[in-house]
């Protein structure tokens, strides 16, 4: 008999891990360091995120998770233009700034930006910047998941990237 058929546990009987277990597990899930930006009717805003991933190549789409309690959330919940700027060691301090409580205007004043075709600020010198339009949103727990169709890409060749792992930045060489 197939082992899968002999399981007596129903999915309804399963409970999720504790918040501490979740946080400890996520701390060792390595992720690219991204400064995610938006602009539009909700204003210009940005945040640092590792909760970004590819969804599909047809059409080219990625997703970004935004905490609805963050200072940047109102703009991301209103605007349809998003840029995902993957950063390297040259932008480590900027990533820290966008990950903190610094006012939005001060965050953006620390670097050079160009508007993408969708309208969100793209970071000059980023490893790669994905110029996106939001095509759908989903509320999941404390976060809003933005599904973003990629309408343009800008790269800086031969640029090392940063990864976030074990609560620290790590440089990834080319």
Q: Would residue 2 count as lying in a domain?
A: no
Q: Would residue 9 count as lying in a domain?
A: no
**Residue-wise pLDDT tens digits, 104-163:** 999 999 999 999 999 999 999 999 999 999 999 999 999 999 999 999 999 999 999 999
Q: Would residue 85 count as lying in a domain?
A: yes
| Lowest-pLDDT choice from 56-60, 74-78, 125-129, 170-174 | 170-174
pLDDT at 174: 85
Range of the domain at 136: 15-165
Q: Would residue 49 count as lying in a domain?
A: yes
Burial class (CB in 10 A: 0-12, 13-18, 19+), 34: buried
Q: Would residue 110 count as lying in a domain?
A: yes
**What's 122's domain CATH number?**
2.30.110.10
Q: Would residue 105 count as lying in a domain?
A: yes
Going through the chain in order, the beta strands assigned E by DSSP cover 31-32, 34-38, 45-49, 52-57, 60-67, 81-86, 113-115, 121-123, 128-140, 143-155, 161-165, 168-172
Give the total number of structural domains in the chain. 1
Q: Would residue 147 count as lying in a domain?
A: yes
CB contact at 8 A, 148 and 62: yes
Does the pTM surpass 0.85? The reply is yes
Is the pLDDT reported for residue 77 higher than 70?
yes
Please give the Cα distance from 159 to 13 (Å, whole number): 48
Q: Would residue 97 count as lying in a domain?
A: yes
* Helix extents (H) in 44-174: 73-78, 92-98, 104-108
CB contact at 8 A, 125 and 136: no
């Amino acid at each position: 008999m197939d082992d899968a058929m002999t399981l007596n546990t129903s999915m309804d009987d399963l409970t999720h891990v504790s918040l501490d277990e979740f946080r400890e597990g996520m701390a060792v899930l390595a992720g690219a360091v991204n400064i995610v930006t938006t602009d539009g009717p909700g204003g210009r805003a940005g945040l640092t995120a590792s909760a970004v991933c590819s969804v599909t190549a047809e059409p080219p789409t990625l997703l970004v998770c935004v905490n609805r309690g963050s200072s940047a959330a109102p703009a991301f919940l209103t605007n349809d233009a998003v840029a995902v700027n993957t950063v390297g060691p040259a932008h480590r301090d900027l990533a820290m700034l966008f990950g903190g409580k610094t006012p939005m205007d001060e965050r953006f004043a620390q670097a050079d930006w160009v508007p993408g075709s969708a309208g969100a600020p793209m970071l000059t010198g980023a490893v790669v910047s994905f110029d996106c339009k939001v095509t759908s949103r989903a509320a999941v727990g404390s976060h809003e998941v933005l599904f973003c169709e990629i309408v343009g890409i800008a790269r800086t060749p031969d640029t090392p990237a940063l990864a976030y792992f074990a609560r620290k930045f790590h440089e990834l060489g080319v």
